[in-house]
Amino acid sequence: MSREQRLERAQLSVLFNAPFFAAGVARLPVAWDEGVPTAITDGKDIRWNPQWFDQLKDEEVVTVYCEAVSHCMLGHLWRQPVGADMDNWGRACDAAARCMMDAFGKIQTNQGLANPFPLPEKVVREFNHAAYDEMAEEKIYSLLQAQPKQPGGGNGPGAGQGGGGGGQPPPSGGKGKKPPKSPSGANGGQPPQTQRQPFSEFAPQGRTDPAQQKQENNWQNVLIQSDHAAKSRGAVPLGIDRMIGELLTPQVPWQEILRNLLRELANDDWNFMKPDLMMSDSTGFIMPSLESERMGSVCFAIDTSGSIDHELLTEFKGEMQACLDDMKPSSVLEICCDSAIHRIKEYRRGGQVDDKAPGGGGTAFEPVFEHLKDQPQLPKCVVYLTDLDGSFPKEEPPYPVIWIAYGTDKKAPFGDTVHVK
C-alpha cells in the first residue's frame, strides 16, 4: 500500500473514530520532507519524514495526525511566551495535546472500543504527559522551567530527553498518576541523554504579521466547527468543553485592558488647526500636522473607603508607575478620595509612585470630578479604582473615564468599566 493510500485510510479513520479532529485533518495538507526528523506542522501543512512514516503502524499515523491538528487548534503556534525556552514550550504543548486526545480516547474505550490514539512504539516518549492533565500549557511550561537542568540538556529526570516515557510528575498540581514503563521495563528513572525528537513537533509562528493573525483566526474557526460537530454526537468530554470555552473567550487581565485603553489615548493625533506647512507647499493641499506631545496629564483616582484590598491597591499603584514610565504623560495626578478628597499628589517623569492611600470613610465620586473641573487644564483621562458603590456626578465629564471595578458586576453610568475578579 502506498503512503498516499495509508494517509487516506488515516483520514477516514479520523472521520469515523475521532470526528472532533476531522475538520482539522482535512485542512492540513501533507508534504514529504526528508529534512524533518519525524513530523512537523506550521499550521499550513504537516511535513512527514517518509522513512519515519513507513515505520509507523496505521493507527499511529492517526495519532500523529491528530496531535498536529491539536497544536494548531489550541493555538500552540502563536501562544508561546515572549523569549520562551522553545524546547520546554514544545514539551508543554505536546503534553496538553496528548491529554486532550486521552480525554477523547476515553469516550471510545469506555464503549469497549480500541484507543484511537496509541503513541508510536518506535518513537522516544518525552515524559509522563498524564501527570499534567487539566493544566494549561502555560502552567505546564512554568513547571518544566522550574525543574533543574540536566548535564547535556533536558529538565529533570525523564523530562524529555529520550529513552522512554519515564518522566517524573510535576512538582505540584498533577494528578499523581504513575509514569508509564519504559521499553526496557524500568518505571521512571534517568533516561540516557539523547537529542529530543517528538513525533509531532510544530514550528511556532508568533504574531508578527497580519497573515499569521489570519491563520490563527482560521484555526480558531476550525476549533469552533469541530466543537459543534462533536457536540452534535455527544462526544465532547466536559473538561475539554470547558477548556474550549476558556480558549475562545479568554479572561484578559484588567491590567492589559487598561494599558490598551491608555495606549489608544496616547497615540499621536492629526491636527487641522496646525497645518503642516511643508506638506502644503509641496502638494498644494492643506494637510494636518501630527501632534507629537504624546499624552497630557492622566489622573488616577483611588476609592479609599476601605473596600479595596491591599493587593489590588498595590497592583493599581504599579499600573500608575507603568503609565508614568511607559506612556510618558506630562504628569500623573493621584487623588485619594472616600466621601471627600484626602490627598492630591502629582508625579512627573522619573518620579516614584508611593504606596500610601489615606482615607477610610464612605464613598462619593463627585469630589474628584469637581476638583478636576476647577483646574486650568483638564486631564487626558481619569482612571478610577473603586467597587462602584457610591454616588456619581449628574453630568458626564468631557474626558474619558476608565473605571477599574473591584468585586462587582455593576457598570458605571459613563466611561469604560473594566471588571476585576
Tell me the pLDDT tens digit for each residue of 201-248: 777 766 556 777 788 888 988 888 888 777 766 667 766 777 777 666
**Residue 251, C-alpha cell as written in the block:** 479572561
pLDDT band at 49 (very low <50, low <70, confident <90, very high): very high
**Count of CA atoms in the C-beta half-sphere (13 A) of 134:** 11
Locate the DSSP E strands across 248-351: 270-275, 288-290, 298-303, 332-337, 341-347
Q: Are 316 and 324 in contact (CB under 8 A)?
A: no
Domains, the chain, ranges and CATH? 3-123+197-248 (no CATH), 255-267+295-420 (3.40.50)
Residue 316 pLDDT exceeds 70: yes
pLDDT band at 325 (very low <50, low <70, confident <90, very high): confident
Mean model confidence pLDDT for the chain = 78
Mean pLDDT of the region 385-408: 93
Residue 40 pLDDT exceeds 90: yes
User: Looking at residue 303, what is its pLDDT?
Assistant: 94
Task: Quickly count: other Cβ atoms within 10 Å of residue 43's Cβ.
Answer: 24
Residue 357: closest CA among 316, 326, 398, 410: 316
**Residue 25, C-alpha cell as written in the block:** 485533518
Residue bearing the bigger pLDDT, 129 or 334: 334
Mean pLDDT of the region 400-419: 91
User: Looking at residue 126, what is its pLDDT?
Assistant: 55
**Residue 314, C-alpha cell as written in the block:** 498595590
pLDDT band at 185 (very low <50, low <70, confident <90, very high): very low
Residue bearing the bigger pLDDT, 260 or 117: 117
Residue 346's beta-bridge partner residues?
333
pLDDT band at 268 (very low <50, low <70, confident <90, very high): very low
Burial group, residue 108, by CB count within 10 angstroms (0-12, 13-18, 19+): middle
374-383 pLDDT tens trace:
999 999 999 9
Residue 34 pLDDT exceeds 70: yes
Residue type (1 letter), 228: H
Q: Are 71 and 202 in contact (CB under 8 A)?
A: yes
pLDDT over 70, % of the chain: 74
User: Looking at residue 223, what is its pLDDT?
Assistant: 87
Residue 121 pLDDT exceeds 90: no
pLDDT band at 188 (very low <50, low <70, confident <90, very high): very low
pLDDT over 90, % of the chain: 38
Q: Is the pTM of this model over 0.75?
A: no
356-365 pLDDT tens trace:
898 888 899 9
Q: Which of 24-33, 37-46, 133-142 has the lowest mean pLDDT?
A: 133-142
| DSSP-H helix ranges across 85-190 | 86-110, 137-146
pLDDT band at 391 (very low <50, low <70, confident <90, very high): very high
User: Looking at residue 403, what is its pLDDT?
Assistant: 95
User: Looking at residue 273, what is its pLDDT?
Assistant: 56
CA separation for the pair 189, 185 (Å, rounded): 11
Mean pLDDT of the region 71-81: 88
For β-strands 270-275 and 288-290, DSSP reports them as antiparallel
pLDDT band at 173 (very low <50, low <70, confident <90, very high): very low
